[in-house]
Amino acid sequence: MIDLAQLRREPDEVKAALARRGVPASNMDAILELDIEHRRLLHDAEALRAQVKDLSRQVGEARRAKADDVAEELQRTSRELGDREREASEASDAVAEKLRAELLMIPNLPSPDAPDGPDESANVEVRRWWLGMAEGAPFPTYEDYQRVAHWECARELGILDLESGAKLAGSMFPLYRGDGARLLRALSFLALDRHRDAYEEIRPPSVALTETMMSTGHLPKSADDMYEVPRDDLWLIPTAEVPLTSMRRGEILDESALPIRLTALTACFRREAGAAGRDTRGLLRVHEFDKVELFAYCTPEQAEAAHADILARAEGLLRELGLTYRVLDLCAGDLGTSSARTIDLEVYSPGVDKWLEVSSVSWFRDFQARRANVRFRSAQGTQFVHTVNGSALAWARIWAALVETYRQADGTVRLPDVLAPYFGDLTIRPRS
């Protein structure tokens, strides 16, 4: 949620920032009007309330002084005022609710550092990396046997069974078999071990309450993109960001405890509403995938370094896996609702000849913390924390890129050495 006080204080700056992501200034004006209306009504209600309280005090005094007739009279007056107060409060509450609803629909202010642009076409490619680049090797060329889509070569090897997944849960719910399932597990273990030095491992619930989804900004805006369990007021988490951000909901943290850095391996569920038909084959876009998430609560001063650390760790894993990737700085128009700045990592997958998004490293400033009400105490008083997070990494697409990149001429897959401690024999052969 954006800061209403900031909108009041510097409306033009806020409008200008939000215009960069296509939010019309009229939305802000509507909010400012509601705010003025709300404060007027609130003031009326509070003045009446103060009178009722004062009269009630006098009733108590009169009763103790045995002046019952005086008390009766005071009660009558107070009862009338009470009725008016109730009306005034209801009017004020109604406006407050409208105001909050409007405010919840407003996305975060983009960071001044985020590039300009209306949509993904304007994202800025910051750099590319490939194996051997530091030693002067050119951008890799790929052999014909690497130009086979993962859904084909994986089926040959018997490590991916999309038909069975579809039978169980519908299309876009993949089922991994044998070494395919083991590879997924190896990747998660590798990542969690790499982050152990600084990030506490969390295994959160895979579902979250509506209230929890609100605090991360996924509701009300992204309701159609999530799976819902209405009977129990639960939603399947689209990312571990949801439980991690809400873990300290409503708390005031000690400044000395920051940054609090957390990592979690969870399944992630996405309905991908409206995405049908677009790059949906194989593992390109699925309803459920495993992901290791990195997350930090920090002070505003720590945020930049925390963001950089998560990005470095995500990139570090890609390099260890020897996968070609590029780094994109998302333009203002392509930022997620809650984000002020996002760096995406995309892996090049030769079999499908596409760049696949495998990580999104975001800085939310205090946008999520304001909704989730996570603060810290400092010398300057109590203030909202900043949150940052990023995937390191999302495995379905990494899995696809690995299988395609490391496919050998004979159809087997020779995995990178870094996986040896987790996978053993690094060659995936057809099951006999």
Partner RNA sequence: GGAGGGAUGACAGAGCGGCCGAAUGUACCGGUCUUGAAAACCGGCGUGGGCUUGCCCACCGUGGGUUCAAAUCCCACUCCCUCCGCCA
By CB under 7 A, name the binding residues for RNA: 5, 39, 42-43, 46-47, 49-50, 52-57, 59-60, 63, 74-75, 78-79, 82, 252, 375, 377, 381-382
- Is residue 262 within 8 A of residue 247, CB to CB? The reply is yes
Q: How far is the CB of 59 from RNA (least distance, A)?
A: 3
Q: Amino acid letter at 289?
A: F
Whole-angstrom distance, CA of residue 157 vs CA of residue 137: 31
Q: CA distances (Å), 415 to each of 14, 139, 155, 336, 419, in order?
A: 49, 20, 17, 34, 7
- CA torsion angle 110 112 113 115 (round to 10): 70
Q: How far is the CB of 380 from RNA (least distance, A)?
A: 11
Whole-angstrom distance, CA of residue 32 vs CA of residue 11: 9
Give whichever of 6 and 408 is closer to RNA, judged by the CB atom: 6
Q: How far is the CB of 78 from RNA (least distance, A)?
A: 3
DSSP letter (8 states) at residue 23: -
Give whichever of 60 and 430 is closer to RNA, judged by the CB atom: 60
Give whichever of 47 and 276 is closer to RNA, judged by the CB atom: 47
220 prior amide bond cis, ω within 30: yes
Q: How far is the CB of 244 from RNA (least distance, A)?
A: 19
Q: How far is the CB of 247 from RNA (least distance, A)?
A: 15
Token couple for 370: 């304001």
Give whichever of 252 and 276 is closer to RNA, judged by the CB atom: 252
Whole-angstrom distance, CA of residue 411 vs CA of residue 404: 10
Query: Is the sign of the CA dihedral 17, 23, 29, 31 positive or negative?
Result: negative
Give whichever of 86 and 182 is closer to RNA, judged by the CB atom: 86
Q: Which residues pair with 381 in a beta bridge?
A: 378
Q: How far is the CB of 123 from RNA (least distance, A)?
A: 35
Give whichever of 40 and 281 is closer to RNA, judged by the CB atom: 40
Q: How far is the CB of 1 from RNA (least distance, A)?
A: 12
Q: How far is the CB of 4 from RNA (least distance, A)?
A: 7
Whole-angstrom distance, CA of residue 383 vs CA of residue 379: 10
Cβ atoms within 10 Å, residue 276: 10
Whole-angstrom distance, CA of residue 383 vs CA of residue 374: 9
Q: Which residues pair with 382 in a beta bridge?
A: 377
Q: How far is the CB of 161 from RNA (least distance, A)?
A: 25
Q: CA distances (Å), 186 to each of 44, 302, 424, in order?
A: 63, 32, 10
Give whichever of 355 and 384 is closer to RNA, judged by the CB atom: 384
Give whichever of 42 and 166 is closer to RNA, judged by the CB atom: 42
Backbone angles phi, psi at 126, to 5 degrees: -85, -45
Give whichever of 29 and 113 is closer to RNA, judged by the CB atom: 29
DSSP letter (8 states) at residue 266: E
